[in-house]
Amino acid sequence: MNKLESTPRIRIRRLGATLFGAALGLAITASAMAADTVTLRVGDQKGGNRSLLEIAGLAKDLPYKIEWSEFPAAAPILEALNAGALDVGYTGDLSFLTVYATGAPIKAIGGTRSDASTQAILVRQDSPIKTAADLKGKRLAGTRGGWGQFLIDATLEKAGYKVDDATFAPLGPVDAKIALVAGSIDGWAVWEPYVSYATLKDKARVVANGEGLTPTITFIVASDSAIATKRAAVQDLVQRLNKARLWSLDHLPEYAKNTSELTKLPEDVLLSAYTAQKTSPIVIDAAIVKEVQAASDRATRYGILSKTLDVGKAVDRSFTAAAAGSN
């Protein structure tokens, strides 16, 4: 067995076979949508789903049109979905739940999982902070209502502290990176490819990560309206994105090279990030709902979410149900 063919990777292969064996039975033919051509308004980020589909060769011969809109981060994608300006987008699990909790007419319909260790709390190379135990009393930056804030709170709790035993600085990745380099914050909770960039280029150090603390799921999110009126096109897009993700796992160097040309991020940074993440498609099944529910309940306890949510009502399992068997 090739060393890359680990047990988790075998499970991914089996998931891929199931996903796309089932997809044959669910595939939408061009003629089914040709009578009244559908346009999907899809939110993306530079180097995101659009480029993934194109690099994987899956952006051709669509039986519908895609109107892509590029955003600087996931938060404005969610805002646009909530406002009815987009049909489909993607975001981290907790960021999605933060907006869903406000009553936004959106559902998670698919997504991917990355290795939880690729969410990390970083410090400067010369920082006296060596472990999570040293984070008490420090100023820590991260995204409010998302992975950054959650990882900080969960790490403090794991170390035996209260969430207010450190000062939270709500900063996006660009501002947080500058603040860390300048020394105006002590630590930065972030994800890939920021982790690889900071460690490879800025010589930052990882003092804690999300292993055992966070699901590290990125959801494909659709508006309730699109689910109701553009279902066939949305279903096809989800299947193509899943297939593209599986392609990327077998073509990491090619994927990193092409994305580097598009985003101008260093190729070695992207290859490091993609290799560490091992991002693979998920089926939204009972196990995923249970896992995200546990994270949601913790986020409510931390005060990140405004109320307790029923995650089962926040997802539409039907888009990946064919790959979930009888679960």
Q: Give 8-37 pLDDT, tens digit per residue.
A: 454 455 555 555 444 444 444 444 444 468
Q: In the listed set 183, 209, 235, which residue is the last one of a domain according to the structure?
A: 209
Segment 280-290 shows an average pLDDT of: 97
Q: Which two tokens stand for residue 229?
A: 């009126």
Rounded to an integer, what distance in angstroms lies between the CA atom of residue 225 and that of residue 229?
6
Average per-residue pLDDT in the chain? 90
Residues 131 and 190 in one domain: yes
Cβ neighbours of 8 (radius 10 Å) = 11
Any idea what the CATH number is for the domain that residue 308 is in?
Answer: 3.40.190.10
Q: What is the per-residue pLDDT across 150-179, written as a single tens digit (0 to 9) for each?
A: 999 999 999 999 999 999 999 999 999 999
Residues 110 and 238 in one domain: yes
Residue with the larger pLDDT of the pair 19 and 120: 120
Contact 216, 113 (CB under 8 A): yes
Residues 110 and 244 in one domain: yes
What pLDDT does 136 receive? 97
What pLDDT does 226 receive? 98
Q: What residue type is 217 in one-letter code?
A: I
Q: In the listed set 181, 209, 237, which residue is the last one of a domain according to the structure?
A: 209
Contact 244, 58 (CB under 8 A): yes
Residues 129 and 15 in one domain: no
Residues 96 and 222 in one domain: yes
- The confidence band for 321, taking pLDDT boundaries of 50, 70 and 90, is confident
Which H or E run includes 145?
Answer: none
Residues 145 and 105 in one domain: no
Q: Which two tokens stand for residue 137?
A: 């009393």
Q: What is the per-residue pLDDT across 63-77, written as a single tens digit (0 to 9) for each?
A: 999 999 999 888 899
Residues 227 and 111 in one domain: yes
Rounded to an integer, what distance in angstroms lies between the CA atom of residue 255 and that of residue 271?
8
pTM of the full structure: 0.86
The count of structural domains within the chain is 2
What pLDDT does 8 receive? 46
Residues 150 and 183 in one domain: yes
Inform me whether the pLDDT recorded for 106 exceeds 60.
Answer: yes
Residues 220 and 177 in one domain: no
For residue 223, what are the contacts with CB-CB under 8 A and spacing of at least 6? 81, 84, 86, 87, 88, 105, 106
Contact 251, 57 (CB under 8 A): no
For Cα atoms 279, 292, 212, give the angle at the middle one, nearest 5 degrees. 65
Q: Which two tokens stand for residue 4?
A: 């890359």
Segment 269-291 shows an average pLDDT of: 97
Inform me whether the pLDDT recorded for 322 exceeds 70.
Answer: no
286 assigned to some structural domain = yes
In DSSP terms, 315 is beta-bridged to: 108
What pLDDT does 2 receive? 40
Rounded to an integer, what distance in angstroms lies between the CA atom of residue 239 and that of residue 242?
5
Inform me whether the pLDDT recorded for 149 exceeds 90.
Answer: yes
What pLDDT does 15 receive? 58
Query: Which of 9, 21, 10, 11 lies closest to 239, judged by CA?
Result: 21
Q: Which of 17-21, 53-57, 61-65, 115-119 has the lowest mean pLDDT?
A: 17-21
Which H or E run includes 110?
Answer: strand 106-113
Q: In the listed set 176, 209, 242, which residue is the last one of a domain according to the structure?
A: 209
Which H or E run includes 278?
Answer: none
Contact 163, 156 (CB under 8 A): yes
DSSP 146-185: SHHHHHHHHHHHHTT--GGGSEEEE--HHHHHHHHHHTSS
Q: Which domain holds residue 173?
A: 116-209
Residues 27 and 70 in one domain: yes
Segment 92-98 shows an average pLDDT of: 94
Please report where in the chains the tokens 């996931």 appear, as a residue.
74
